[in-house]
Amino acid sequence: MASTTTTLPRYRGLCGAIVTIREHTTRYAYDSESEFGSERYGHAWECECGVSGSSVEMMPHDRPRTLQRVREAANEHAAQCRALPPTATK
Q: Alpha-carbon distance 83 to 6, whole Å?
A: 24
Q: Is residue 90 part of a domain?
A: no
pLDDT interval class at 8 (50, 70, 90) = confident
Q: Is residue 15 part of a domain?
A: yes
Q: Is residue 75 part of a domain?
A: yes
Q: Is residue 89 part of a domain?
A: no
Q: Is residue 86 part of a domain?
A: no
Count Cβ neighbours within 10 Å for each residue of 16-37 and write b for 16 or more, e otherwise: ebbbbbbbbebeeeeeeeeeee
Phi first, then psi, for residue 25 (nearest 5°) are -125, 130
**Cβ distance 24 to 5 under 8 Å?**
no
Tally of domains in the chain = 1
Per-residue pLDDT at 88: 65
Q: Which domain, by its residues, includes 18?
A: 7-80
- pTM exceeds 0.75: no
The arrangement of strands across the sheet holding 36-47 comes to: 7-12, 18-29, 36-47, 52-57
pLDDT tens-place string over residues 47-78: 999 999 988 776 767 777 888 889 999 999 99
